[in-house]
Structure 1
């Protein structure tokens, strides 16, 4: 079934810009990629939008092809070494278009409140007196490992989850989660930081046989999974030319053969 964000005639036309009336901002989680993994509310808000301010990840490309031609799409996506529009400017864009009477959707990959800076955008709108709401999305921290057959918790294997931003420092709480075999550690935005992560973990006494999985391009036809160990992952990731976007999973749930046969290691998704 092909999903569309275009308004049907039976449901009325989208509200047009009205400078005499303040619009609103909806911060929407787009999930891990496919548009059909977004919520029904996210689809409705996109169909009502005058302006879509979109990230690079999530369903942005698919959404672009399905919006009405008169919807303004603003690309603010960040990538490795690429930060074209600072967060303060993104906040200002949301406020300016809403003040012009627009319905603005801030479309983000994953969930807006999990390492997505959605809270900053809500704060900026509230400070400016702009009505704002948040629509949750499926977070890549759980859904991307799931796409590779990795449950972030699993009875008798892992009973807790620790999520960390790979671009930040690896604090004592992260090292403690890595050391605890009952905890799964998920690292987002961590490919470039993998050497630093491995050094910190090994320096903290984490054993070299701790399972590690790296899932690239989860929920897309380009998905592939590398299953390794803490002691081998640097060499194996380099040999496989692992790149972003990817989610790193560390813990016993990442071991080959837990749910999927070990022969599926680093195979491209059959999606």
Structure 2
């Protein structure tokens, strides 16, 4: 269940990324982080009102808030800064490649969770294929990028890894439900975003012309890419190892190609070939990645 939930997370992100493009530049990185977090928190609060939360203790609440503060608050902000500086392909290349590797190392060091050699093979196949697909999509473009953009990408990967390992350590025990964990992580992220918006005097509302219908696309993207995705991610951490989950989530770059294909865009033969190879890696992780034992 964990690996399929992780793949569901990747699919949600792939579709949401397409929808977020419709919003254009109406939202600044901080404003986008704020609104998608706020909308998701409200929705999850309604869900938790009808579904009794389980397994909540002061210690678990604090750790999940910290996980969200680092992984969502700082991590997403760093990723958005990387997007602005080095573009979407390079930002995804750095963050989505390094995050699973950092997660595997942190999980071994801090919670004693090791992955098997078969899982390492699956991780390597998936990440290498994702990298090749991203490079193939941007092969014809030449850019001069700022070094700081890559540092933000590395920072995003580190924060994602820390958030993932903390979440896995707590959810792996089976004491807390995924909805409560998602709610607390998003709240933790807002504890970073809101003060930063106030400190930088960033406008809370997006810049939208009267003719532009930004909110419907943004809300739908938020429901998929934040609310549903983080719930599935928390569910995945309860049943699969942290490094396996992070690797499968990185396939969102491949799934975005499938979304584009359904909308009439045709991928090149090399992209199609590397995507097929990535599926082999996913198959390995599906076969050998179901253990939830630390």
TM-score (norm 2): 0.21
- Structure number with higher strand proportion: 1
Structure scoring higher RCO (CA < 8 A, sep ≥ 6) equals 2
- Structure number with higher helix proportion: 2
Structure number with bigger Rg: 1
TM-score (norm 1): 0.22
